[in-house]
Structure 1
Amino acid sequence: MGFTHFLLLSTLSLGISVQAQSCSRPVGRPNMQLKGDDILKDSFPDGSTATFECATGYRSDGGSGTVTCTAGQWSLLELSCTKKNCGSAGDVTNGEVSYPEGSLYGAKLTVKCNDGYMPVGGSKNIFCRDNGWEGRLPSCEVTTCSPPPPISNGKFIPVQEEPYNYRHSLIYSCDRDYTLNGTSTIVCSENGQFAPSPPNCVKVNCEEPEIKNGVWVQGARPPYGHKATVTLQCDDGFVMEGKATQICQINSSWSPGLPTCKTIPTTPKTTTTTTPTTTTTTTTTTTTTTATTTTTTTSVKKPTDKEGPSGDAKNNNGWWALILIPIAIGSVAIGLYQYNKKKKSNLKGYPERVPPEDVQLS
């Protein structure tokens, strides 16, 4: 009897101990959070409750957000939460409101004004927040552009003090001897600014297009203004590297760039020199020697160059012939003269021959 009573008490104590077990902090779904003071608790005693609510930007779709701790276990959470929908933000006169990201929590809307109108006031970025669209829609007003500043050495038309309307055009021109650098016409654009940027007036004066070993042959003469065109040419014996035709640009420089004149390269020339054959004879042997020498030279021929060694050798042979022939003729004449003189002197030793007298016959 005593043992049975002890066993019964032990079982009851164990049951009470299990039933009294506490619960740790409950965890809800990603789009919900604990409500009120429950978010500060780390442990909940057996039998206590905790309440969930939808997170910021979400709303309840139904179901209870309260759970109960029983013997260390939480009951099933029935709350369902979905993103809030901000709906329409309203309309804009002379413009359009669009929702490229939708209208749920976190989305961003855009406002586009009609052609000829521009947004004025309002918020730059409008997002869907917990309490609806955050920010104020802009209004769409007629687009105008403020008058541009004047330009040096030029002007634009028409000139007016009040703003220019959308798509109004201005035309620029420069004073005498100045050139317009940029677009002559600008237009009041949809963002309230003239486009493209206003031009400016510059004085263009390219330098004399002088090149070494080259000359001007045709085209403009100084002063060289914008788009002045010249043609250059290299001297004889030189070849051009670059473009012969040059145009004066807005920055007072020649385009595509002054050329250069380089010396015309020559191909290698091969010269062969042959030494005349010489023969040497003695009482024992006869030796014949022939020598041939080949040399390669590279030279640049100029208009004033004289003939090479071969031409000089031929000219020397001609001069020797002119000198030796008269000497030979003179030697022959002197020899004949000496011969005749000697012959006459030999004849003086003999008596003159007298023809015989006639003999009278009796």
Structure 2
Amino acid sequence: MDVLVDTCGRARAGSLLLLYLFVVTAAADCPTPHEGGNMVLTNDALLLNDFLEGSEVTLECRNGYVIESGSGIMTCINGNWTQPDLTCKKKDCGPPRPQPNMSFNTSAGTLFGDTVKVVCDKGCDNRNSNAKIYTYRKSCVYNCILFTQVSSEEKRLI
């Protein structure tokens, strides 16, 4: 009695198994994670192209914000990202450094994005009466010039 082995059926079954594994694996991958609010992906996370099941990415606080709590780790599970546990709050820039011939009105606050008003001392001139320092641009300081330092030609323009 001869036994015939059906090799075509095995090849077909093997191909179907590979196709099934490929589709199931691809379906479990996550899309590119989205940033939101005051959080951004770390540079390492931005360099990734594929987000396989179980992969992790990390979020960090956007410029001007600091970590209040959490790690920022998100994990790809069943094709979806877990919610990050990171909480970011605005950075307190503190008052501007003292400058000659001026003071600062910080009544609007010193948190990231707040506005600090420049107030020139008596006898000084601020050529821009609306001069403001924005706490996110700490290097932007307007000069208040003593009136005695201003030339007679400049005084006519004031």
- TM interval, shorter chain, is 0.5 to 0.7
Task: Report how far residue 142 of structure 1 moved.
Answer: 4.0
Q: Which letter maps to 1:23? A: C
RMSD: 3.5
Aligned equivalents of 2:151, 2:97: Cα separation in 1: 31
1:68 aligns to 2:75 (yes or no): yes
**Secondary structure of the structure 2 residue equivalent to 1:134:** coil
Give the structure-2-normalised TM-score: 0.65
- C-alpha contact (below 8 Å) 1:58/1:83 kept by paired residues: yes
- C-alpha contact (below 8 Å) 2:70/2:87 kept by paired residues: yes
Task: Report how far residue 91 of structure 1 moved.
Answer: 2.8
Q: Which residue of 1 aligns with 2:66?
A: 59
Q: Which letter maps to 1:103? A: T
**Secondary structure of the structure 2 residue equivalent to 1:45:** coil
- C-alpha contact (below 8 Å) 1:118/1:192 kept by paired residues: no
Q: What does 1:19-30 align with in structure 2 at a 5 Å threshold?
A: 21-30=28-37
Task: Report how far residue 34 of structure 1 moved.
Answer: 1.0
- C-alpha contact (below 8 Å) 2:54/2:75 kept by paired residues: yes
Which of 129, 133, 142 does residue 138 from structure 2 map onto?
A: 133
Higher relative CO (CA 8 A, sep ≥ 6), structure 1 or 2?
2
Task: Report how far residue 100 of structure 1 moved.
Answer: 5.5
CA gap of 1:144–1:38, structure 2 versus 1, over 3 A, is: closer
1:117 aligns to 2:115 (yes or no): no
Structure 2: segments with no counterpart, 5+ residues? 1-16
Aligned equivalents of 1:65, 1:113: Cα separation in 2: 44
Task: Report how far residue 28 of structure 1 moved.
Answer: 3.5
CA gap of 1:27–1:192, structure 2 versus 1, over 3 A, is: same
Q: What does 1:94-113 align with in structure 2 at a 5 Å threshold?
A: 94-99=101-106, 101-113=108-120
Q: Which residue of 2 aligns with 1:88?
A: 95
Task: Report how far residue 98 of structure 1 moved.
Answer: 1.4
Per-residue deviation, residues 119-139 of structure 1 (Å, max 9, x unmatched): 49xxx653222xx71234535
Task: Report how far residue 106 of structure 1 moved.
Answer: 2.7
Give the structure-1-normalised TM-score: 0.32
**Secondary structure of the structure 2 residue equivalent to 1:97:** strand
Q: What does 1:90-239 align with in structure 2 at a 5 Å threshold?
A: 90-99=97-106, 101-119=108-126, 126-129=133-136, 133-136=138-141, 138-143=143-148, 146-147=151-152, 192-193=155-156
Q: Which moved more, 1:25-34 or 1:62-71?
A: 25-34
CA gap of 1:53–1:145, structure 2 versus 1, over 3 A, is: closer
Q: Which letter maps to 2:143? A: P
- C-alpha contact (below 8 Å) 2:124/2:144 kept by paired residues: no
Task: Report how far residue 143 of structure 1 moved.
Answer: 4.0
Q: Which residue of 1 aligns with 2:8?
A: none
- C-alpha contact (below 8 Å) 2:118/2:133 kept by paired residues: no
Q: Which residue of 2 aligns with 1:45?
A: 52
Task: Report how far residue 101 of structure 1 moved.
Answer: 4.2
Task: Report how far residue 146 of structure 1 moved.
Answer: 4.5
CA gap of 1:146–1:26, structure 2 versus 1, over 3 A, is: closer
CA gap of 1:112–1:192, structure 2 versus 1, over 3 A, is: farther
**Count of residue correspondences:** 135
Q: Which letter maps to 1:88? A: P
Structure 1: segments with no counterpart, 5+ residues? 1-9, 149-190, 196-362
Per-residue deviation, residues 213-263 of structure 1 (Å, max 9, x unmatched): xxxxxxxxxxxxxxxxxxxxxxxxxxxxxxxxxxxxxxxxxxxxxxxxxxx
CA gap of 1:193–1:41, structure 2 versus 1, over 3 A, is: same
Task: Report how far residue 145 of structure 1 moved.
Answer: 6.0
**Secondary structure of the structure 2 residue equivalent to 1:60:** strand
Pick the structure with more helix per residue.
2
Per-residue deviation, residues 147-180 of structure 1 (Å, max 9, x unmatched): 57xxxxxxxxxxxxxxxxxxxxxxxxxxxxxxxx
Task: Report how far residue 141 of structure 1 moved.
Answer: 2.1
Larger radius of gyration: 1
CA gap of 1:36–1:95, structure 2 versus 1, over 3 A, is: closer
